[in-house]
């Protein structure tokens, strides 16, 4: 392994929507040419986006910086040309015509990598946002707009049993976490 101090982070501009393909292409090409000593990491920063469709919660990975792929490398010799020659790669961010690719400053790298870690952690640590006896408002489904009281919490299914007053009578409803909000 070569001296790690020679490696710097660069940003490769890619065709938007092709970031993960570009990452795979770069990794395959680098390992095929046995240049893994010079390129140690290829990153596509993503964030988990939660949306509700037809009452179901969907979690998708969304590219955080569309059109950009981060790469930790020692760009010597042919390596910049190899990377630029990869399908869907536009070039390096910050390079001038005929000039060298410009590495990111350490503060920028730490900020971007910190964001990546933060996004990864946030998705997992989202605990139960509701407590028993709490008043909530239904925001999705046929009882949209009704207020109710949390009676039971099912962590595994991420569902709540909520007691809602409908026409003066208390009625139990089973609702997903994404179908209600705090009042």
pLDDT in tens, 33-80: 998 899 999 998 887 777 777 777 778 888 888 999 999 999 988 889
- Domains in the chain with CATH codes: 4-124 (3.30.70.940), 135-182 (2.30.30.30)
pTM for this entry: 0.59
* pLDDT over 70 at 112, yes or no: yes
Nearest Cα to Cα of residue 101 among 124, 117, 82, 123: 82
pLDDT single digits (tens) 129-176: 788 999 999 888 888 899 999 999 887 777 899 999 888 888 899 988
Cβ atoms 88, 12 nearer than 8 A: no
pLDDT score of 121: 55
Nearest Cα to Cα of residue 12 among 106, 21, 118: 21
What would the mean pLDDT of 86-92 be, rounded to a whole number? 92
* pLDDT over 60 at 125, yes or no: no
């Amino acid at each position: 392994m070569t001296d790690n101090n020679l490696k710097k982070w660069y940003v490769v501009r890619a065709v938007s929507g092709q970031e993960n393909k570009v990452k795979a292409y770069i990794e395959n090409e680098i390992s095929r040419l046995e240049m893994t000593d010079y390129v140690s990491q290829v990153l596509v920063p993503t964030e988990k986006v939660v949306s509700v469709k037809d009452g179901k919660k969907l979690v998708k990975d969304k590219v955080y910086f569309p059109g950009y792929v981060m790469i930790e490398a020692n760009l010597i010799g042919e390596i910049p040309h190899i990377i630029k020659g990869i399908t869907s790669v536009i070039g390096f961010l910050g390079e001038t015509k005929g000039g060298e690719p410009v590495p990111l400053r350490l503060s920028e790298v730490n900020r971007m990598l910190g964001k990546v870690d933060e996004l990864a952690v946030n998705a997992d640590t989202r605990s139960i946002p509701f407590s028993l006896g709490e008043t909530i408002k239904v925001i999705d489904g046929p009882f949209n707009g009704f207020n109710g009281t949390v009676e039971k919490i099912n962590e595994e299914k991420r569902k709540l049993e909520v007691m809602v007053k409908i026409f003066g009578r208390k009625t139990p409803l089973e609702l997903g976490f994404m179908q209600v909000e705090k009042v």
